[in-house]
Structure 1
Amino acid sequence: MNIVHTIWSSLLVIQRGIMILSSSLILLGLGVTVVLRYVFQTGLHGLEELIIIPAFWMYFIGAAYGTYKKEHITADILSVYLKGEKKRLWLKVIISLINCSLISIFAFWSIEYIIWSINSGAHSNVWKYPMYIPQSSILVGFGLMTLYTFVDLVKGIVNLYRYKT
């Protein structure tokens, strides 16, 4: 079980590192854009195109990390009206099952999207980098979201099974 904890912790550290690095690169790119435009009255052609790469990674890794942390806004009014802990546990399992199912579908679609992007040979206009570089963050993000919602689903089922009436 120690190896699983180590892998899990390392995965979260890597995600935080990617979010910090990508945020820093976005800020640096936007700062360079502002300085070039307003101080030197010039610009670097295609800089916005480069900023897309860390922006994609920040967005999708951030979404996965938010899925792990579960610190997002919810409108779960049904649990307020449910009487009894067992009913609330059932509701959590049902919600986790729906979330896991939908996110798994999105993860599958992201696989198809990346395959299509590779096969089409899509590349950026100015720098000519392959478009699957920023787009692969979609696959990684939804893959991680699927993992986190699946783990949440399993925990919910275990809690429901262990519940004593």
Structure 2
Amino acid sequence: MKALVDLFASIDNMIALFMKIIVTVMGVFVSFAIVTGIVSRSLLGMPIFGLEELVLMAAMWLYMLGAALASRERSHLSADFIQAFCKNETIKTVSSFTATTLSLLLAVLFVVWSYSLFSWGIERGQRTPVFGLPQYISQASLFVASILLLIYALRDFANDAAHLFIKK
């Protein structure tokens, strides 16, 4: 069992490293592309056509993989009033389990919705106006992120269920 857990942890670490690299590259690209677009338009008087298409696609991947990384590290925004103000550990554990259960259900819906959007994008064959890039490239970011969010929600659900139902 420990070998399997170690294997999953190793795979998770490799995926996280890959996501961090992509997020960094996309973040740098979006930053420089926006600055380049502003400079070319305002100082040189020459807009760079199609730059917005590339920024949009990169930003979609940046935001979606960033959300997956936040979910992996459990550092996403949350309003844990009960966790902050309640001193009863049982109530805190039940609250955390309830929130994780809701997150898991929403993650399942997000996978279904994003798959539907992604497959619709492939069927429709829509392309960007300037470069003719398939729209499903940016739509795929939603689907990939939703799968990752579901995986991390399942992990958190299992951990919270273990804390709630397995007394040590």
Q: TM-score, normalised by structure 1?
A: 0.91
Q: Which residue of 1 aligns with 2:51?
A: 47
Structure 1: unaligned runs, 5 residues or longer: none
1:138 has 2:145 as partner? no
Bigger relative CO (Cα 8 Å, ≥ 6 apart): 1
Superimposed CA distance per residue, residues 64-116 of structure 1 (whole angstroms, 9 cap, x where no aligned partner): 11122222343222345656323322221111111100111011110011010
- Distance between the aligned counterparts of 2:38 and 2:8, measured in 1? 45
Structure 2 vs 1, CA of residues 45 and 81 (structure 1 numbering), >3 Å: closer, same or farther?
closer
Deviation sequence 1:21-57 (CA, Å, 0-9, x none): 1101111211221232233221221111111111100
- The correspondence of residues 53-132 of structure 1 with structure 2, limited to 5 A, is 53-79=57-83, 84-132=88-136
Partner of 2:152: 148
Which residues of structure 2 form unaligned runs of 5+?
none
Structural RMSD (CA): 1.7
8 A contact 2:27–2:62 mirrored in 1: yes
The DSSP-based 3-state class of the residue aligned with 2:61 is helix
What amino acid is aligned across from residue 103 of structure 2 in structure 1?
Answer: N
Asked whether the equivalents of residues 104 and 153 of structure 2 are also in contact (C-alpha less than 8 Å), the reply is: yes
Q: What is the alpha-carbon distance in structure 2 between the residues aligned to residue 66 and residue 2 of structure 1? A: 21
Distance 1:52 1:76 in 2: 32
Asked if structure 1 preserves the Cα contact closer than 8 Å seen for 2:67 and 2:76, the reply is: no
* CA spacing shift, 1:40–1:81, aligned 2, 3 Å: closer
Once the two structures are superposed, the pairs formed by residues 6-17 of structure 1 within 5 Å of their partners are: 6-17=10-21
Conserved? CA contact 1:33–1:47, under 8 Å: yes
Q: Which 10-residue stretch deviates more, 145-154 or 66-75?
A: 66-75
Partner residue of 2:162 out of 133, 155, 158: 158
Q: Number of aligned pairs?
A: 164
Further displaced range: 42-51 or 127-136: 42-51
Q: Identity over aligned residues, as a percent?
A: 24
Q: Find the aligned partners of 1:65 and 1:23 in 2 and give their Cα distance.
A: 14
